[in-house]
Amino acid sequence: MRTEKQPPETPELRRAATGWRRAVPPLLIALVVAPLVAGGLLSAAAPARAAEKTEVPPILDRELFFGDPEISGAQLSPDGRFISFIKPYKGTRNLWVKRTEQPFDAAKPVTADTLRPIRISFWSWDSKYLLYVQDRAGDENFHVYALNPAEAPAAGQDVPTARDLTDLKNVRAQLYAVPKALPDTIYVGLNDRDAAWHDLYKVNLTTGARTLLRKNADRVTRWIFDLQGQLRLATRAAENGDTEVLRVDADGFKKVYTCNVSETCAPVRFHKDGRRVYMETNKGDDVDLSRLVLFDAQGGKEELVESDPMKRVDFGNALFSEKTDELVGTSYEDDRQRYAWREPSYAADFAALTKQLPGKDLAVVSATRDDRLWLVAASSDTEPGETHLYDRKAKKLTLQYRIHEKLPRQHLASMQVVHYPSSDGLQIPGYLTLPKGVEPKKLPLVLLVHGGPWGRDSWGYDSIAQFLANRGYAVLQPNFRASTGYGKKFVLAGNREWGQKMQDDLTWGVKYLVAQGTADARRVGIMGGSYGGYATLAGVAFTPDVYAAGVSIVGPSNLITLLESIPPYWESIRKLFAERMGDPSTPEGKAQLERQSPLHSAAQIKTPLLVVQGANDPRVKRAESDQIVVALRERNFPVEYLVAPDEGHGFARPVNNLALFASAERFLAKHLGGRYQEGMPPEVAQRLKEITVDVKTVERPKRVAAAAVGTPKPVADLKAGTDVYPIRMEIAGRTLDLKSTTEIKQEGNTWVIKDSTQTPGGEVLDVATLDKATLTLRRRTVKQGPLTIELDFNEGKVSGQVEVAGKKQPVAADLGGALFADGAGAFHSVGALPLAAGYTTTFRNFDLRKQKASLKQLRVVGIEKVTVQAGVFDAFKVEIDSAEGDPGKVTVWIAKTLRKPVKIIASVPEQGGAVVTSELGK
């Protein structure tokens, strides 16, 4: 049986909501069933449940919560002959394989990664290859690897060779399909050509050969295949934020379904008839909860399959038979998980499993092709997870292993469901974990805030909540407005409410527990990662009297800089961010985001703060943590800071997690009065020392005040003529040779400059009109294939339009001043400045992708002799980079006599780290 899950919003948003929270398999890292009363909720008027009549448990070693599990992540091979699983090897979680009938101690390792734990793996349909995904040091440039477990290791190696199927530098692979009908094939997306969009490739598992099937020039976010492995549909992110479902025909795309930026619609899986597709959608003004439908992409007919029978939550998962490909059941995540079975034999099997594993939530994590063998995960609030092998024919259930076997379950605390009203009366669902053996009166409280924010917390084992409860804290995990799963209205209630009503939802949770007598108002802490890190910073900045301690993990402190620095492959959801967070390109949106940024209220912080960051985080850059730390340091306000050089958006390596929670545990104990484990292993103590940052050494991220930036004054005139520049582009180990021509003409009181670049995809034309006296930009036109950009610049503002394949989108922004050295002939304009050793200046450009002004810093770093095709020149060496701390740099050599560029070297992070070199030709 296979689970097909529609993402909460889009595939990228689902990844955006995946961060730091649950590092213990098989529970997914989430930033993203036993009711207490009828309906599954504890009303706001009800008192907290009395503590269980047991003794206070001992302090449990933090390694039991955050160390490597002995065994985790098991997967059945489709033929049922093997079980793969994850287990430490040479100090790092790696893949192991055993025959299904063998004991686990008979298994052999098949990977030997010593740098980063493997967390996700799966079998090819013919059971020949084991595949897994892995990034480097948390950079989220995931690659797909394949290995043959039956292959003998090479000489001197302990394990078979794993082949990187997507071996391109600075490229993020997206896995689209592993078709059962084509067991030697997978379909992946690679953003090597354009960092923002993934082209579609077919990859042969045996040979590793990659075949480009589709260039992505249409803002495609996902490619959808039928059960025979044939490309049938795609989803596209329209410029206005709409999601479009496209039918892929021989002659191109045809739009067949659309939902707006406030709605969800996405294909789940093709029906076995090959004509219809299952989709999850909440399209419609009068629709709140998402539903499962069958949609005919040819005729356009939509028929309802199912929505929540209890009318409480969004559609959850669709469950399909591996043998018949029939829809056999569905699941819904309410206060607890619940199933709705459509096929009697599955209902009977789950009833039998529930009887044998009472009180636990069950899930089939993998199954054989004939659906006879299931690997069943059973978990609860006090059970991290058991994995059982279930033989459906023999009706035999066999325990395989328990995650964190050494963790004493009898000392873990129960999790209860709570609902409470927020500031405007909206009911907020959540979960409360109370320390075991302690009367629930005047307890220290930790508000544990999930990330996303478009995700949710769930009932079940939570390592952080259990760890904190063991230390004596009550732990509240609210599903504040904007959390997913509770309907469209609940999500949209969070629009543009970061730090406002969303923060109220947290504050009123504290008030609720204080009013009940459960929490001590003087001992309340707040902790979270990603959005939860933001909520921590917002809590101590906007409601400083509520909290006595805060732990912010990879949390953004400035929403403007957060949106400016999102990864290029999130371009498809930029409009969604603008709608849900706020639009920084408008004056009112920018003012709102600045008001909601904790950095701008740092002077109000009086709560002790621990800040944690991964140095390689591609989502929340290190600058977000650096700048709040600097702001507090400059007030002489104490702040603690951890930075792991080998982590990204959350910590994956156990030694880093152990160091983090050792520090957080000590910090919370100091300020809230909970219990604390004094000792730690030497390697953890050493790691904590290594990642602890002396805040005196933290530098403020480089930014220049836009209001102080003017326009540099040229001292020389441009010269009419034509220059040819051969270009070499190096990207991901490949080299591409191009040619560009710059033509300069005078027309009245302006210079008209045309840059024409010949590429394999056709000509790229950039035409700039400059004021003759100031060389400031008046007009710019860019043409590339179906794309045309036409912009006018006047009095510090830009107006115009972007047209793609006949679709037009207006452009309008206040730039704050004139633009210099922008567009065609930019470096010829630089040559007209009063260049000399040590000369510096700052000027504005216009970022076409972000549609906002960007500030550039120019420095003359010396004079060098440069040899190019056109000859040998004495040249000013000029470096130009962002004055706002953004990546990327250009070095240009301006000939002293010609006053024109003779050599240019540019690094282009948004193009996968490409390095572009151009030289003046003969």
Catalytic residues: 530, 617, 649
DSSP secondary-structure letter at 573? G
Q: Phi and psi dihedrals of 330, rounded to 5?
A: -140, 165
Distance CA 564, CA 883 (A): 13
Per-state percent for the chain, helix, strand, coil, to nearest 5: 15, 40, 45
Instruction: Name all contacts of 901-906 with Cβ < 8 Å and 24+ positions apart.
Output: 901/827, 901/828, 901/830, 901/831, 902/866, 902/868, 902/870, 902/873, 902/875, 903/866, 903/868, 903/875, 904/725, 904/827
Could you give the CA distance from residue 361 to residue 344 in angstroms, rounded to a whole number?
20
d(CA 455, CA 666): 29
For residue 106, the 8-state DSSP code is G
- Asked whether 67 and 658 are in contact (CB, 8 A), the reply is yes
Alpha-carbon torsion, ordered 386, 392, 395, 396, to 10 deg? -40
End-to-end CA distance of the chain: 66
DSSP state of 357: S
Rounded (10°) angle between helices 501-515 and 531-542: 70
The torsion angle over the Cα atoms of residues 777, 781, 784 and 788, rounded to 10 degrees, is 130
Question: How many helices (H) and strands (E) are present in the chain, helices listed first?
Answer: 14, 50
What is the residue whose two structure tokens read 């399959």?
305
Sheet holding 243-249, edge to edge: 220-225, 231-237, 243-249, 252-259
Query: CA-to-CA distance for 20 and 528, rounded, in angstroms?
Result: 9
Determine the Cα–Cα distance for residues 96 and 79; give it in Å rounded to an integer: 17
Block residue for tokens 């992946």: 188
Alpha-carbon distance of 91 to 153, in angstroms, equals 20
Of 574, 596, 602, nearest in space to 496 by CA = 596
Q: What distance in Å separates the CA atoms of residue 164 and residue 391, rounded to the nearest whole number?
A: 35
| Burial of residue 106 (number of CB atoms within 10 Å: 0-12, 13-18, 19+) | exposed
Q: What single DSSP character describes residue 492?
A: H
Query: For residue 26, is the peptide bond before it cis, meaning its omega torsion is within 30 degrees of 0?
Result: yes
**Are the CB atoms for 206 and 184 separated by under 8 Å?**
yes
Helix H or strand E segment including 276: strand 276-281
Query: In 646-751, which residue ranges form alpha helices assigned H by DSSP?
Result: 654-672, 682-691
**CA–CA separation, 229 and 224 (whole Å):** 9
Nearest to 845 by CA among 874, 809, 817, 807: 817
Q: Say how far apart CA 664 and CA 654 lie, in whole Å.
A: 15
Per the structure block, which two tokens stand in for 486? 């509770």
Between CA 92 and CA 645 the distance in angstroms is: 17
CB under 8 Å to 778, separation ≥6 — which residues? 750, 769, 770, 771, 792, 793, 794
Contacts with 291 (C-beta within 8 Å, 6 or more apart), sequence order: 280, 281, 282, 304, 305, 306, 307, 315
What DSSP element (H or E) covers 880?
strand 871-882
